[in-house]
């Protein structure tokens, strides 16, 4: 096992533990010597891991610690890079810029040899539909409404070109290859509806929060799975 893989396993073991773990227990779990374990814990602390404890007292990791990018496996890094690049092609300008920023932050923290390997991985996200894609200026406001769990007054044009005004509770957005879809509870229909972002004419975020939590709405929608496009 490589050293980086061993350090990743140690982080996972500390993250999942519900109580402080003794050095011998961790060493046995990872199949390494106690001396190697103490050296690995020192290395992780140097890299920013907030690991509490000492030999004889046990070790635990304070909640909220994020894995540094260099601790990801090659497959995980490729998945992150590919996902960020895909999002850069599909999302609104603000989210695309955030994806590019996150991608560069991960990339800049990698060792030189791993950075070169990722840059030349050959995994590409071609922008084949750039010329055909319709600008969707409402993506940003809709994402913010989902995040804040606020009601939205939506002016929408359906597939028959008929416009309507809805008060909806937005709680999810799907990013498909050719279209972005808002998932919301529609007060007019008293049911879940799906609204294509390219058919939205106007968005007004209201000050009122919707009465259910986003998590609860997602659970209800997932159970119902009603794929009825807004109309």
pLDDT in tens, 162-211: 899 999 999 998 888 778 889 999 999 999 999 998 899 999 999 999 99
Torsion region of 14: left, alpha or beta (phi above 0 gives left; psi -120 to 50 gives alpha): alpha
Q: How far apart are CA 26 and CA 53, in angstroms?
A: 13
What pLDDT shows up at residue 148? Answer: 92
For the residues 43-68, what does the mean pLDDT come to? 78
Burial 207-225 (b: 16+ CB within 10 A, else e): eeebeeebeebeeebeeee
What pLDDT shows up at residue 173? Answer: 87
Lowest mean pLDDT among 18-27, 87-96, 214-223: 87-96
3-state SS assignment for residue 153: strand
Query: What angle is formed at CA 78 by the lines to CA 10 and CA 51, rounded to 5 degrees?
Result: 20
**Which is more confidently placed, 124 or 75?**
75
Q: Say if residue 104 is exposed, middle or buried (CB neighbours under 10 Å; 0-12, 13-18, 19+).
A: exposed
Share of the chain above pLDDT 90, in %: 33
Mean of the per-residue pLDDT values of the chain: 81
Residue 199 neighbours by CB under 8 Å, 6+ apart: 156, 157, 158, 159, 230
pLDDT in tens, 99-152: 888 777 777 666 666 677 777 767 767 665 554 455 577 888 888 899 999 999
3-state SS assignment for residue 161: coil
Listed residue (133, 138, 134, 137) closest to 170, CA to CA: 138
């Amino acid at each position: 096992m490589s050293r980086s893989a061993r350090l990743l396993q140690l982080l996972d073991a500390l993250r999942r533990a519900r109580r402080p773990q003794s050095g011998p227990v961790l060493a046995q779990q990872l199949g390494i010597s106690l001396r190697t374990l103490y050296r690995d814990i020192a290395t992780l602390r140097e890299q920013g891991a907030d690991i509490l404890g000492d030999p004889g007292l046990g070790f635990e990791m304070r909640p909220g610690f994020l894995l540094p990018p260099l601790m990801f496996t090659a497959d995980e890094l490729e998945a992150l890079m590919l996902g960020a690049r895909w999002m850069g092609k599909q999302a609104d300008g603000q989210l695309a810029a955030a994806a590019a920023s996150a991608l560069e932050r991960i990339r800049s923290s990698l060792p030189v040899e791993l950075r070169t390997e990722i840059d030349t991985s050959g995994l590409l996200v071609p922008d084949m539909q750039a010329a055909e894609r319709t600008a969707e200026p409402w993506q940003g406001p809709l994402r913010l409404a989902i995040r804040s769990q606020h009601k939205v007054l939506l002016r929408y044009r359906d597939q028959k070109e008929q416009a309507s005004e809805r008060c909806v509770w937005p709680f999810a957005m799907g990013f498909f290859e050719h279209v972005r879809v808002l998932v919301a509870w529609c007060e007019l229909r008293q049911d879940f509806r799906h609204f294509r972002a390219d058919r939205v004419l106007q968005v007004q975020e209201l000050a009122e929060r919707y009465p259910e939590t986003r998590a609860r709405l997602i659970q209800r929608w997932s159970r119902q799975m009603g794929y009825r496009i807004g109309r």
